[in-house]
């Protein structure tokens, strides 16, 4: 039996994280992950197509269909319907990367793009930032840093592991987004953005609930909008996405040098093998990896 659904980029990342607990199969070309749960094979492609095969394919797909791109997770239903001409507003946007990767940090960036700078940013060619190569983003990021007000929260693995027993990953995301947004607001004061746009990873009410216990942080809540695929709705989120990705890549490069082995991004079988090798060398994984991932136990079994 086979079942195929279409999901957006954020849901695809959530699925990759969820299925990291299962044994991985060889990942086909164009796929982010491929696993065997015992009763079904699940393969998620970067295009957003997710294929379920096996005797429980329909039941496994049903777990996600209510949250697929065609239902709850579209901007109009999960997020806020954005005002007309929003793309031309002065907006402070934020996005994060690394939540679904075993090695490396959880990195969140916020970038302010005023109306005056929209054409300059548009000329960078980042309107669909998710399609850019890492090399291209590495060339664009320094220009963003030099030109636009921004802030990055780079939660490295050791700090992440300290916080994780008390905060789930979405709460850490919320706190990081809120902190980065606050820092940029301080930098541009007394200018006030027409809006703030957060690349959505949780319902709006849930996001603000996560912030209730954020100590010593003011909660940014005025003119805040949420939508999935935020980079498609305003260039500020596209710029934030690029900046977060490049900072993550830089951190991964430095961690790889420290570990003496290239640390792969993701949560697949290659990650398990590298983690097992680090354990074999007597290296403490907490400096390099998010320990609560299923990859830790998989690496221990491999060792």
96 labelled binding-site residue: yes
At 281, list the tokens: 């060398």
Residue 31 β-bridge partners: 45
The DSSP 8-state label assigned to residue 27 in this structure reads: P
At 193, list the tokens: 């953005």
pTM, rounded to two decimals: 0.75
> What structural domains and CATH numbers belong to the chain?
2-65 (3.30.310.10), 86-253 (3.30.420.10)
CA–CA dist 193, 196 (Å, integer)? 7
Q: Tell me which residue has tokens 């490396």.
A: 104
Q: What's the start-to-end Cα distance of the chain, in Å?
A: 35
134 labelled binding-site residue: no
Among 258, 244, 199, 255, residue whose Cα is nearest residue 224: 199
CA–CA dist 173, 171 (Å, integer)? 5
Instruction: List per-residue pLDDT tens for the chain, 303 residues long.
Output: 788 998 888 788 888 877 776 667 788 888 888 888 777 889 988 888 999 888 778 878 877 765 433 332 333 344 557 998 999 999 999 999 999 999 999 999 999 999 999 999 999 999 877 789 999 999 999 999 999 999 999 999 999 999 999 889 999 999 999 999 999 999 999 999 999 999 999 999 999 999 987 776 799 999 999 999 999 999 999 999 999 999 999 999 999 999 999 999 999 899 999 999 999 999 999 999 999 999 999 999 998
Characterize 188-209 residue by residue with b for buried, 16 or more Cβ atoms within 10 angstroms of its Cβ, and e for exposed: eeeeebebbbbbbbbebeebbe
95 labelled binding-site residue: yes
């Amino acid at each position: 039996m086979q079942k195929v659904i279409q999901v957006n980029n954020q849901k695809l990342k959530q699925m990759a994280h969820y299925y990291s607990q299962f044994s991985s199969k060889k990942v086909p070309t164009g796929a982010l992950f491929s696993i065997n749960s015992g009763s079904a094979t699940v393969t998620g492609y970067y295009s957003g197509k997710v294929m379920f095969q096996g005797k429980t394919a329909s039941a496994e797909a049903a777990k996600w269909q209510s949250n697929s791109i065609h239902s709850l997770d579209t901007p109009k239903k999960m997020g806020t319907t954005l005002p007309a001409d929003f793309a031309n507003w002065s907006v402070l946007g934020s996005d994060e990367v690394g939540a679904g990767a075993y090695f490396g940090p959880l990195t969140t960036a916020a970038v302010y793009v005023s109306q005056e700078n929209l054409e300059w940013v548009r000329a960078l060619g980042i309107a669909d930032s998710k399609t850019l190569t890492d090399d291209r983003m590495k060339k664009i990021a320094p220009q963003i840093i030099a030109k636009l007000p921004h802030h990055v929260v780079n939660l490295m693995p050791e700090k992440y592991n300290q916080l994780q027993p008390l905060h789930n990953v979405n709460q850490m995301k919320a706190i990081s987004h809120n902190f980065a947004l606050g820092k940029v607001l301080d930098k541009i004061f007394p200018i006030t953005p027409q809006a703030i746009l957060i690349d959505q990873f949780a319902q709006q009410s849930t996001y603000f609930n996560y912030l209730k216990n954020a100590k010593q942080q003011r909660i940014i809540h005025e003119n805040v909008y949420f939508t999935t695929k935020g980079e498609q709705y305003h260039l500020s989120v596209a710029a934030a996405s690029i900046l977060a990705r490049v900072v993550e890549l830089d951190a991964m490069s430095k961690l790889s040098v420290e570990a003496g082995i290239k640390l792969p991004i993701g949560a697949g079988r290659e990650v398990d093998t590298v983690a097992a090798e680090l354990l074999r060398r007597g290296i403490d994984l907490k400096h390099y990896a998010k320990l609560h991932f299923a990859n830790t136990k998989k690496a221990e079994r491999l060792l």
